[in-house]
């Protein structure tokens, strides 16, 4: 139950909103069907939204399917989040020209980011932006990220039908947008309800034909959200999880997962919070012009942990353990939050269907069983 004022707009108003955002100079980004999946791309109108499409998701499985209605947002999240718009996969950090033997001149560094308006962002992805803020914005702000972030508009969408790999309820990030949005929509048959999250959002709403939502509809929205929360595809037991994982770095289950893991890095590349990058320096053929590029990196590659003395994580088991313990455990100490928002992408896009919730739960359950057995034995000793 959420105690905020809701407004109702007719569906047609969404196209008007997109038009207003364009007019105000925003690059409007929304979900759209491309290459057999739904991704965030620049869109011109609601016509490019995945109207009438849904996505069937399971571990290692993703398929677009026709819905029997024409909902705009009757799908969940696709392979890519909006991370790429703030933290581009490939980015030039600077260029340098050598003039004469010993004189170096910096050339224009980074381009100015566009002003983005994101339409149809889910609660998990909004949460992921706040997770990445702690890396790129809060301490030593990355100029491109900080700029793109500060001028962005977020039109969230609440999820009524979670996907097969979703577990935002476990991570306390969804299915309802509760923060980080300017406007949050709930899609009904012929209308949207609108919650306003900022002054920017209020101004946008005021430009649209709207009325206060009646009590019945409000109640319906609450019921939809409650039902969504109860129908998550997965669930993760987070109780005492960070300590449990960090105390079990030698658990045999890491080796068991490593037998299945292919080191492909799909999980880190699709994850909306993974922030690792490589820094590459190169020169052109003349040798007088050098550039520094930053590209997405992944702890699943061997080179990632390379240093003069060798590799710090030479086995797949060690790399998988780094990934999972980082997401669910050490992130807390680093940033005061989990590194996982429960979007399920790493599960869907893993070619062999390795499931973060299943692997973590397996270790938790095993440790619990072990403790219970110890308790039982102790009780027996005391009793005898």
Partner 1 sequence: MITAIDQRPDVVSGDANAMSPVWARIVSRCQESSNTASYTMKFVDPEIGRRYRFLPGQFNMMYLFGVGEAAISVSSDPANSDSLVHTIRHVGSVTFAVDRLKVGQCVGLRGPFGSNWPLESCKGRDILLVAGGIGIAPLRPAIYQLLKNRDQYGRVILLYGIRSPQDMIFKEEVEEWMERRDFQVLITVDYPSENWTGPVGVVTKLLRRVRVDSRNTSVFVCGPRVMNRAAAHSFLSHYVPEDQIFVSLERNMRCGIGQCGHCQYGPKFVCKDGPVFSYASVRNLFGKDEV
Ligand X SMILES: Cc1cc2nc3c(=O)[nH]c(=O)nc-3n(C[C@H](O)[C@H](O)[C@H](O)COP(=O)(O)OP(=O)(O)OC[C@H]3O[C@@H](n4cnc5c(N)ncnc54)[C@H](O)[C@@H]3O)c2cc1C
> Residue numbers of the site for partner 1 (CB under 8 A)?
93-94, 96, 98, 101-102, 104, 106, 109, 135-136, 139-143, 246-247, 249-250, 275-283, 287, 290, 292, 294, 297, 299, 304-309, 312-315, 317-318, 321-322, 325-326, 329-330, 332-334
Choice between 178 and 316, CB closer to partner 1 = 316
Interface pattern 222-241 for ligand X (x via CB under 6 A)? --------------------
Question: For 36, which DSSP code?
Answer: T
12, 27, 135 from 266: Cα distances, Å: 37, 28, 21
Binding-site partner at residue 342 among partner 1, ligand SF4, ligand X, none, CB < 5 to 8 Å by type: ligand SF4
Binding-site partner at residue 344 among ligand X, ligand SF4, partner 1, none, CB < 5 to 8 Å by type: ligand SF4
End-to-end C-alpha distance for the chain, whole angstroms: 53
Strand order in the sheet with 153-157: 37-42, 27-34, 116-121, 153-157, 183-187, 191-196, 7-10, 211-212
Which DSSP string do the residues of 79-139 spell out, in sequence order?
S--THHHHS-SEEEEEEEEEETTTEEEEE--SPPPP-EEEEEE-HHHHHHHHHHHHHHTSS
50, 195, 242, 329 from 349: Cα distances, Å: 20, 32, 24, 22
Binding-site partner at residue 226 among ligand X, ligand SF4, partner 1, none, CB < 5 to 8 Å by type: none
Q: Report the C-alpha gap between 50 and 64 in whole angstroms.
A: 10
Residues 274-303 that bind ligand SF4 (CB under 6 A): 274-276, 298-299
Q: Report the C-alpha gap between 322 and 208 in whole angstroms.
A: 48
Choice between 13 and 355, CB closer to ligand SF4 = 355
**Selection from 69, 76, 298 nearest residue 167 by Cα:** 76
Q: Does 343 engage in binding with ligand SF4 (CB under 6 A)?
A: yes
User: Considering only residues 6, 152, 232, 346, which one is a binding residue for ligand SF4 as defined by CB under 6 A?
Assistant: 346
**Selection from 33, 270, 73, 328 nearest residue 177 by Cα:** 73
CB neighbour list of residue 196: distance below 8 Å, 6 or more residues apart: 4, 5, 7, 182, 183, 202, 205
Q: Does 306 engage in binding with ligand X (CB under 6 A)?
A: yes
Interface pattern 216-245 for ligand SF4 (x via CB under 6 A)? ------------------------------
User: Considering only residues 170, 266, 268, 316, which one is a binding residue for ligand SF4 as defined by CB under 6 A?
Assistant: 268
User: Quick one: which segment of 158-166, 226-234, 301-309, 316-324 binds ligand X (CB under 6 A)?
Assistant: 301-309
User: Considering only residues 112, 303, 333, 381, which one is a binding residue for ligand X as defined by CB under 6 A?
Assistant: 303
Binding-site partner at residue 334 among ligand SF4, ligand X, partner 1, none, CB < 5 to 8 Å by type: partner 1
Q: Report the C-alpha gap between 220 and 351 in whole angstroms.
A: 38
Binding site for ligand SF4 (CB under 6 A): 268, 270-276, 298-299, 322-323, 326-327, 340-346, 356
Binding site for ligand X (CB under 6 A): 303, 306, 308
């Amino acid at each position: 139950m959420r105690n905020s004022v809701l407004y109702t707009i007719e569906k047609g108003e969404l196209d008007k909103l997109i038009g207003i955002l364009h007019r105000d100079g925003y690059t409007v980004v929304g979900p759209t069907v491309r290459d057999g999946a739904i991704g965030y791309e620049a869109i011109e109108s609601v016509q490019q939204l995945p109207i009438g499409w849904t996505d069937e998701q399971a571990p290692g499985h993703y398929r677009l399917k026709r819905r029997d209605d024409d909902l705009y947002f009757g799908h969940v999240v696709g392979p890519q989040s909006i991370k790429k718009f703030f933290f581009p996969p490939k980015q030039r950090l600077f260029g340098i020209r050598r003039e004469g033997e010993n004189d170096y001149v910096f050339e224009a560094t980074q381009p100015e980011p566009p002003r983005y308006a994101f339409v149809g962002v889910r609660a998990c992805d909004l949460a992921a932006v706040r997770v990445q803020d702690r890396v790129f914005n809060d301490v030593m702000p990355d100029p491109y990220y900080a700029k793109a972030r500060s001028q962005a508009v977020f039109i969230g969408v609440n999820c009524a039908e979670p996907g097969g790999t979703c577990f935002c309820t476990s991570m306390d990030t969804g299915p309802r947008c509760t923060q980080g949005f300017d406007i949050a929509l709930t899609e009904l048959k012929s209308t949207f309800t609108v919650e306003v999250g900022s002054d920017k959002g209020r101004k946008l709403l005021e430009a649209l034909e709207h009325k206060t939502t009646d009590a019945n509809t409000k109640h319906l929205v609450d019921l939809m959200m409650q039902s969504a929360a109860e129908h998550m595809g997965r669930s993760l037991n987070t109780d005492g999880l960070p300590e449990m994982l960090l105390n079990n770095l030698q658990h045999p289950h890491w080796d068991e997962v490593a037998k299945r893991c292919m080191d492909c890095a799909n999980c880190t590349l699709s994850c909306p919070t993974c922030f690792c990058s490589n820094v590459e320096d190169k020169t052109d053929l003349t040798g007088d012009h050098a550039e520094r590029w930053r590209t997405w990196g992944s702890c699943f590659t061997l080179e990632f942990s390379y240093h003069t003395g060798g590799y710090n994580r030479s086995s797949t088991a060690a790399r998988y353990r780094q990934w999972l313990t980082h997401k669910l455990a050490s992130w807390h100490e680093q940033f005061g939050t989990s590194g996982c928002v429960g979007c399920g992408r790493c599960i869907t896009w893993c070619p062999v269907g390795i499931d973060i919730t299943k692997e973590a739960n397996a270790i938790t359950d095993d440790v619990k069983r072990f403790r219970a057995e110890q308790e039982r034995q102790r009780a027996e000793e005391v009793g005898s």
